[in-house]
Amino acid sequence: MSDDEQTPSTTGGTPAGPQPEEIRFFGTTWVDHSGNYTLRRIGLAVGSLAAAVAACFVLRFAYQGLEIADVGGIVNMLVVLMFAVCSAIAFRKTWEGFLRRPADPAREESLRSLKAIGFIGSLLAYCVRCLVEAPGEKLRRAEYDTARTQYEKRRGNRTGNPAARKKPKRT
């Protein structure tokens, strides 16, 4: 490499070391809370709450359709119970996803349809989490800090070019 060539870590581009993982709607602004971070959190909390309310209205219209069709009380009760249970499970699984990575990604994939049915629970979990921090920020910050610490530790152990070191003389 010539003197006028520079690596990306020394130019104005990407800094050396691990890079923070992006969070949807926030990018990497969660690291230093820049770029209207607080306004985005508030906006996403309000937006997900509004989407949950709108979804409740849609479900109410679907329930009225079942009443008009006169399918029976047991079916109406099962539909309400199904959405309530699925929403509770979706809330819990979404909330857990903000706190830690899934131990078994295949199991999370199998719960995908259940979370789709209980989408109101997922929206509410997203809304509540936005009131505290960017969803998933705590998890990603812990991972990023660990990666930075390990990187700095590895960097600190290296001191110069090992080939240029003088070997101790044996007598």
**pTM exceeds 0.75, yes or no:** yes
Task: Annotate 104-168 with DSSP letters as a single string.
Answer: -HHHHHHTHHHHHHTHHHHHHHHHHHHHHSSTTHHHHHHHHHHHHHHHHHHHHH--S-GGGSPPP
Residue 122: pLDDT over 70: yes
pLDDT at residue number 78? 93
Per-residue pLDDT tens for 44-58? 999 999 999 999 999
Position 160 confidence tier, pLDDT thresholds 50, 70, 90: low
Per-residue pLDDT tens for 64-120? 998 899 888 899 999 999 999 999 999 999 999 999 988 888 888 988 999 999 999
